[in-house]
Amino acid sequence: QSAIFNFQSLLTVILLLICTCAYIRSLAPSLLDKNKTGYFGCFSLCPGERKSPYVAACCVVMAFSILFVQ
């Protein structure tokens, strides 16, 4: 199935996007500037969500489903 229709795959893609953008922003902050437009401007908003309690809860749910459901 596609990642859009499978909840676990969609959750994995979103969490990897957030963590990858945070890592890229730590290496090259000018690449993901908040004032840019287009794709890079959209991706610059993701690293701010990394410390969100919702992202942490999604990581715990994903880890639980990978370890115990599959």
Give mean pLDDT in consecutive 10-residue pieces for the chain, a chain of 70 residues.
Answer: 69 80 78 71 67 77 80
Which residue range(s) make up the domain with 16?
Answer: 9-23+51-69
| H or E element that contains 61 | helix 53-64
Residues 6+ apart with CB under 8 A from 65: 8
Count of domains for the chain: 1
In a domain, 16, yes or no: yes
Q: What is the pLDDT of residue 47?
A: 66
Q: What is the pLDDT of residue 1?
A: 53
In a domain, 29, yes or no: no
In a domain, 58, yes or no: yes
Token output for 66: 């990978």
In a domain, 1, yes or no: no
Token output for 49: 């969500």
In a domain, 62, yes or no: yes
In a domain, 38, yes or no: no
**pTM of the predicted model, to two decimals?**
0.63
Q: What is the pLDDT of residue 2?
A: 60
In a domain, 43, yes or no: no
Q: What is the pLDDT of residue 49?
A: 59
Q: What is the pLDDT of residue 50?
A: 60
